[in-house]
A and B are shown apart, each in its own frame.
Chain A
Amino acid sequence: MSNEGVIEQSTAGLMQLVAAGEELIGYIYPHTPLELFMAHGLIPSLIRTLPQVPSGFEASLQTFACSYIRNLYSQRTSNQMPPLTGILFPSNTCDSLQNLGDIWRVRFPEDRVFRLTYPVTRNIIDDSTQRYLAEELRLLSESLTTIFERPFLKESYNRGISLVREFREGAKFLYSARVVNPKIISYSDVAQLVRVFLTTPTAAAASAITEAANSVKKMVTDLGIFENVESVMTALVNRDFENVQLPENLDAPRVVVAGGMIEPQALGTLIKDIPDIPESVITLDLLSFGFKSVFTPPLDESEDPFMEMAKSLLAAPGEPTQEGLKHRMIFLKDLLTNLSIHGLLICEQSFCDPDQFEAPSIERAASEVGIKTTRIPIDPELSDKARIEVRIQSFLETLTER
């Protein structure tokens, strides 16, 4: 299904939920505590960029605002957002999103705007970062209780935990299976399953992933590569590639996609549309709404909920907005070498500070391990589609050079 098709499908899903009396909280940053909203009986729904939206940002945002926030803003001015009860903005992630939250409050005073402030510090020995985020989560929980008169219910929280866990378990398996054999399920299909869950995190969306994972499990077992898949999954979860085992004679080229808040689904559609390029060249994405959302560690029901959620969010694969560039580059180099990767597509959201700052480091890291890279500036509207296609196809041509 095309990117547009999936958007239509998920919008329809959202409308059904609203018709059934559910209340949606929109969020825009990948590392959002889904279980917290579920604990309050609310449905967290990831607001996606739309490829076709009439531009409406000009009276409030300068042209150098990143293409992601321009798109979100334009969705709001053209009434193309889903029917939300509230919207959650992240704070202390990047300067553009930071200011967007402020601008939103002034321009749309009728919207219920929440904010969750994330600590940037990572890799420290004390637990001050976790305690800070836990308290932020508790305060958010308090205001959800007061504003919606919906208290935090342990039972709903536990249900949320198992729902999100089901999604992550299935998606992690699909991601890992594709690393071993990228043809086993198409990249777009996996991106679509993940996307549908993040937009409408329902039991149905989670079981769709479980079903897909079960059928892939059967296929990999029949092919005798189940253990390879397990070894990749363990490596990606622990970020330690020492025991990875890949089968011999892998198809070439194998490409990894690096980048931040680029839509995996949009990327899948883009590659699918390029003539003579099999989608299976994409072995793995490291995107925020893909890999990083999927490989966030699970929660333990028995521990303090706020501390647990904080720990999980802080242990998710790193973003360029956080401390730890060095660690991210070590992980990237390990991954590229141990997963037999030939090339790296570095996607960057147009005018995105964090993406554009990290890209040269990624280029250097990849070249240190002998991996070719190309940079793809991209915006949600794919306004430079023809050139992007040439970039990607040319890059793959340089990889097949024998």
Chain B
Amino acid sequence: MNGDRPSEEKPYRRLETQTLLQQIAFTGGLEALEASENGNLAWVTSGFPVEIPIAMNVGVVYPEQAGAIIGAQKIGPEVCSYAEDLGYSQELCSYARASIGSTEKPDEVPMGALPTPQILLACNNICGTVLRWYDAIAEMTGATVFLLDTPPIEAEQLPHHQEYVRKGVQRLIQFLEDKFSKPLQDERLAEVADLSSKAIGLWTRSLEACQKKPSPLNCADRFLTMAPVVSSRGTEQCVDFYETLLAEVDDRVSEGLGAVRDEKIRLLWDNIPMWYTLRFFNLLASRGVVFPADTYTHAWSGSIEGVDTSSIIDGIVEIYSNVYLNKGLDAKVDKMCQLIKDYDLDGFIMFSVRSCKRYSLGQMVSKELVTERTGVPGVIIEGDMVDSRVYNEAQIETRVDALLEMLM
């Protein structure tokens, strides 16, 4: 056989739907630019009830996604260093550093510098860091920060918690109405909530299809295709995208085609990926390793029920408070065990992200608990999502190899 193998013989299958993503990203970029010029662009965190700004025709962009794009271009260290020059420590969240760095020097960042925001919408259900990050951006750009505070929940959401978050959502609506001088229309909100639920429903079905063997999607496929559901759920375009994705996934399932050509080992991935070397997953694919599930893309899967503004707000209050990152270690361990069971996984890899404390601290404990409860082995590897300076490839290889040797 000669050196160049035809593409269909790569160890993994390329997802056709991916090409649509570029289109979505391109249109999204243009719309954001336009919104910024028209004075109504919001930056939002991944766990924010984006349905409300979307229903009020506020343009939205998603800085965590921009961080991922900066990471994927392998310019993370440079862009982060612009933030470090301003005094932000290298130990801080690298999404935040990439965002601050690209706001400071947008011309040095080919892709991933976002248009100037008028408002910054943060919800702390994913971590406490988002508020401090957005406060920093507010100082740089003059945009106003709105925080939707969703305090962590122990076992269940109590009435006073619901009441507090509901007040927050009402203040959010008031804030947007005052800022852009237009009211929230009930019909439009219902429409957006419906579209959002549809998209989430379709996305969840694609995720669940990975329970099949071979798994139709691998980790990197999901990391890339999660973008629209996180940033633009509530739009027609988003629903269309997930319809196309689900169709491709269903095709793969019915034809028995796996994301990895020769699936041998099924693993769970925990945490944000290292965006600068998604190749990691492809290299493992060549050894028959697939990741049918991960904790990152399963973090956004609750769909809002509700028929009118009041019940939709109730749905928002419940769904956005109950994301598992807001529910502590037990919820995360439960989630991992459930995924391992439902997706019939052989083991797990936990990526300890140095600059993401909320997601990563506790992994040493949860690793033990998950193995205890499921009987499958796992390994912790350390690095960062954007800042490749703290990624030790040789060390990681050894650890992953050791795990695979246990499973082979």
Query: Are A and B bound to each other?
Result: yes
Is A279 an interface residue when CB atoms closer than 8 A count as contact?
A: no
> Could you give 24 example pairs across A and B, Cβ below 8 Å?
A62-B363, A62-B364, A62-B382, A92-B152, A95-B361, A98-B152, A99-B357, A99-B362, A102-B330, A103-B329, A103-B365, A106-B329, A119-B151, A120-B131, A120-B151, A131-B164, A136-B160, A323-B131, A323-B145, A353-B92, A357-B136, A360-B86, A361-B135, A364-B139
Q: A320 — which chain B residues lie within 8 A by C-beta? A: 132
A60 to B158, CA, bound (A): 30
User: How long is the Cα–Cα vector from A357 to B355 in the complex, in angstroms?
Assistant: 13
Q: Determine if B39 is an interface residue (Cβ-Cβ < 8 Å).
A: no
**How far is the CB of A307 from the nearest CB of chain B, in Å?**
13
Indicate if B223 sits at the interface (CB-CB under 8 A): no
Q: Which of A60, A92, A121 contacts B168 (CB 8 A)?
A: A121
Decide if A61 touches B361 in the complex (CB within 8 Å): yes
Q: A65-B357, A360-B86 are in contact. Are A321 and B128 (CB under 8 A)?
A: yes
Interface residues of A in 348-367 (CB under 8 A from B): 348, 351, 353-354, 356-361, 363-364
Q: A64-B354, A95-B127, A98-B152 are in contact. Are A353 and B132 (CB under 8 A)?
A: yes
Partner of A95, one of B151, B352, B358: B358
Which chain A residues (84-123) contact chain B, with CB distance < 8 Å?
A: 91-96, 98-100, 102-103, 105-107, 115, 117-121
| Interchain CA distance A103-B369 in the complex, whole Å | 11
Enumerate chain B interface residues (CB-CB to A < 8 A). Answer: 86-89, 91-93, 96, 124, 127-129, 131-133, 135-136, 138-139, 145, 147, 149, 151-152, 154, 158, 160-161, 163-164, 167-168, 171, 328-330, 352, 354-355, 357-358, 360-365, 369, 382
A107 CB contacts on chain B under 8 angstroms: 365
Give the shortest distance, in Å, between A61 (CB) and chain B (any CB): 6
Q: Are A102 and B329 in contact (CB under 8 A)?
A: yes
Contact of A351 among B87, B91, B158, B382 (CB under 8 A): B91
5 tightest Cβ-Cβ pairs between the two chains A and B? A360-B87, A102-B329, A357-B132, A128-B167, A95-B358
- Pair A99/B358 contact, Cβ less than 8 Å: yes
Q: Is the CB of A62 within 8 A of B136?
A: no
Q: Are A361 and B361 in contact (CB under 8 A)?
A: no
> A124 an interface residue at 8 Å Cβ cutoff?
yes
Most buried by A among B128, B145, B358, B364: B128
| Residues of A with C-beta under 8 A to B329 | 99, 102-103, 105-106
How far does the alpha carbon of A354 sit from the alpha carbon of B92 in the complex, in Å? 9
User: Known contacts A103-B329, A103-B362: does B152 contact A91 (CB below 8 Å)?
Assistant: yes
Query: Cβ of A359: which chain B residues have Cβ within 8 Å of it?
Result: 87, 89
Closest to A98 in B: B152
Smallest CB-CB separation from B126: which chain A residue? A95
A96 cross-chain contacts in B, Cβ below 8 A: 357, 361
Residues of A within 8 A of B158 (CB): 135, 139
Say yes or no: A356 contacts B91, CB within 8 Å. yes
Residues of B within 8 A of A103 (CB): 329, 361-362, 365
Q: Given B124, B360, B365, which contacts A106 in the complex, CB threshold below 8 Å?
A: B365
Task: Given A62-B382, A356-B88, A357-B133, check contact A128 B168 (CB 8 Å).
Answer: yes
- Does B164 lie within 8 Å of A119, measured CB to CB? yes
In the assembled complex, the Cα of A44 lies from the Cα of B149 at a distance in Å of 28
CA distance A354 to B128 in the complex (A): 9
If the complex has contacts A98-B152, A126-B167, A132-B164, are A357 and B365 also in contact, measured as CB distance less than 8 A? no
Inter-chain contact A323/B361, CB cutoff 8 Å: no
Q: Is the CB of A64 within 8 A of B171?
A: no
Within 8 Å of chain B (Cβ to Cβ): is A223? no
- With A64-B91, A356-B91 known to touch, is A102 a contact of B362 (CB < 8 Å)? yes
Partner of B149, one of A66, A95, A119: A119
- B391 smallest CB distance to A (angstroms): 14
| CB of A19 within 8 Å of the partner chain | no
A59 within 8 A of B: yes
On whether the beta carbons of B357 and A353 are closer than 8 Å, the reply is yes
Contact present for B149 and A120 (CB under 8 Å): yes
Give the complex CA separation of A132 and B151 in angstroms.
Answer: 10
Residue of A nearest to B160 (CB): A135
| A335 interface residue (CB < 8 Å to B) | no
> Which residues, 314 to 341 on A, are CB-close (under 8 Å) to B?
320-321, 323, 325-326
CB pair B149 A60 closer than 8 Å: no
Given contacts A117-B151, A120-B124, A353-B129, 11 further A-B contacts (CB under 8 A): A92-B124, A92-B151, A92-B152, A96-B361, A99-B329, A102-B330, A103-B362, A107-B365, A128-B164, A132-B151, A132-B163
**Shortest beta-carbon distance from A399 to chain B in Å:** 20
The closest CB in chain B to the CB of A120 belongs to B149
A375 to B88, CA, bound (A): 12
Q: Could you tell me the distance between the alpha carbons of A66 and B361 in the complex, rounded to whole angstroms?
A: 10
Residues in B neighbouring A92, C-beta threshold 8 A: 124, 128, 149, 151-152
Q: Which residues of A contact B362 (CB under 8 A)?
A: 99, 102-103
A312, CB-defined interface residue at 8 Å: no
CB of A321 to closest CB in B, whole Å: 6
Name the residue on B nearest A328 (C-beta): B135
Separation of A361 and B89 alpha carbons in the complex (Å): 12
List the B residue with the shortest CB-CB distance to A365: B139
Chain A nearest CB, measured from B217 CB (Å): 30
Residues of A near B369 (CB, < 8 A) are 106
Question: How far, in angstroms, from A105 to B329 measured CA to CA in the complex?
Answer: 10
- In angstroms, Cα B358 to Cα A91, docked, is 12
A129 on the interface (CB 8 Å rule)? yes
